[in-house]
Chain A
Amino acid sequence: MKRKRGSGDFFFELEAHIRLEADRYREKGLSEEEALAAARRGFGNLTRTQERFYESRRWLWWDSLHQDLRFAVRLLTKTPGWSVIAALTVALGIGAAAAMFSIVNTVLLRPLPFPHPAQLYSVLETTKFGEMGLAPDYFTIRENLSSNSAIRDMGAFDSSGVNWTGADQAERLVAGQVTASFFSTLRVQPVYGRTFLPQEDKPGADKVVLLSYSLWQRRFGGNSAIVGQKIRLDRAIAQVVGIMPRWFDYPQGSDLWIPLALDEAQQRQRRAMRIVDMVARANPSATPSDINQELNRLTALVTNEYPETYKRQGFLQTIKFVSQPLQQHLTGDMRPALLVFSGAVALMLMIVCFTVANLMLARATSRRREIAVRVALGSPRRRIVGQLLTESLLISLLGGGIGLGLAMFAIRALNAMRQTALAGLPEVAIDSSTAIFALLVTVLTGVAFGLAPALGSLGFGVREVLQGESRTASGGAGVRRARQILVVAQLGLSLTLAIGAGLLAKSFYRLRIMDPGFNPANVLTARINMTGPSYVSLDRQREFMEALLQQVRSLPGVESASVGAIPAGGTSGNRGVFIIENRPLPPAGQAPLSDFIDVSADYFRTLGVPLIEGRLLTPSDSGDAPLDVVINQAFVRKFFPGEDPLGHRISTKSLDSPDRGWAEIVGVVGDIHQAGLDRDVTPSFYRTIQQEHQSGLSRSNLLIRVSKDPAALIPALERTVAGIDRDQPVYDAKTLEQRLADSLGPRRFDAALSGDRPLPRVDRSLRRHVLPSYAANRGDRNPAGFGRAARASRRADFA
Chain B
Amino acid sequence: MSTREEIERLTLLQGTLDLLILRTLALGPQHGQGIARAIQDSSGEELLVEHGALYPALQRLEAREWISAEWGVSGNNRKARFYTLTKTGRKQLAVETSRWRRLAGAIGRVLGPEGAS
Contacts and interface: CB of A to CB of B under 8 A. Distances in A.
Given A13-B81, A56-B60, A20 B55 contact: no
Given A13-B81, A44-B50, A48-B52, A20 B59 contact: no
Contacts of A12: 79, 81
B interface majority secondary structure: helix
9 contacts: A10-B55, A13-B80, A17-B31, A17-B32, A19-B78, A43-B51, A44-B51, A49-B51, A49-B52
A291 B37 CA distance: 79
A23 B79 CA distance: 13
Contacts of B79: 12, 16
A49 B55 contact: yes
Contacts of B31: 16-17, 20
Contacts of B55: 10, 13-14, 17, 49, 53
Interface in B54-99: 55-56, 59-60, 74, 76, 78-81
A17 B51 contact: yes
Contacts of B52: 43-46, 48-49
A24 interface: yes
A46 B56 CA distance: 12
Contacts of A56: 56, 59-60
B56 A16 contact: no
Given A10-B55, A16-B31, A17-B32, A23 B81 contact: no
A43 B50 CA distance: 7
A390 to B, nearest CB: 25
Interface in A7-57: 10, 12-14, 16-17, 19-21, 23-24, 42-46, 48-49, 52-53, 56
A22 to B, nearest CB: 10
A43 B55 CA distance: 10
Given A23-B76, A45-B52, A16 B33 contact: yes
A380 to B, nearest CB: 11
B29 interface: no
A222 to B, nearest CB: 62
B32 to A, nearest CB: 5
Given A53-B59, A56-B59, A16 B50 contact: no
Please classify how large the interface on chain A is, using the bins under 10, 10 to 19, 20 to 34, 35 or more. Answer: 20 to 34
Given A17-B32, A17-B33, A49-B55, 9 more contacts: A13-B81, A16-B31, A16-B33, A16-B74, A20-B34, A45-B52, A49-B56, A53-B56, A56-B59
Given A16-B78, A43-B51, A46-B52, A21 B33 contact: yes
Contacts of B56: 49, 52-53, 56
A interface majority secondary structure: helix
B60 A20 contact: no
Contacts of B51: 17, 42-44, 49
Contacts of A17: 31-33, 51, 55, 80
A39 to B, nearest CB: 9
B57 to A, nearest CB: 10
A17 B36 CA distance: 10
A663 B80 CA distance: 118
A383 to B, nearest CB: 15
Contacts of A23: 76, 78
A20 B81 contact: no
B11 to A, nearest CB: 13
A52 B59 CA distance: 10
Contact of B78 (A10, A20, A42, A53): A20
B77 to A, nearest CB: 10
Contacts of B80: 13, 16-17, 20
Contacts of A16: 31-33, 74, 78-81
Nearest to A17: B33
Contacts of A14: 55
Contacts of B50: 44
A185 to B, nearest CB: 60
Contacts of B34: 20
Interface string B24-45: 0000000111100100000000
A42 B33 CA distance: 11
A23 B31 CA distance: 14
4 shortest A-B CB distances, which residue pairs? A44-B52, A20-B33, A43-B51, A49-B52
A343 B34 CA distance: 68
A45 B37 CA distance: 18
B34 to A, nearest CB: 7
Nearest to B34: A20
Contacts of A21: 33
A49 B49 CA distance: 14
A14 B54 CA distance: 11
B78 A24 contact: no
B3 to A, nearest CB: 10
Interface string A211-233: 00000000000000000000000
**Most chain A CB inside 10 Å of its own CB: which residue of B33, B34, B55:** B33
Interface in A558-596: none
B81 A24 contact: no
Nearest to A57: B59
Interface in A251-277: none
B65 to A, nearest CB: 9
A358 to B, nearest CB: 37
A6 to B, nearest CB: 13
Contacts of B60: 56
**Most chain A CB inside 10 Å of its own CB: which residue of B51, B60, B74, B81:** B51
A49 B34 CA distance: 18
Contacts of A13: 32, 55, 80-81
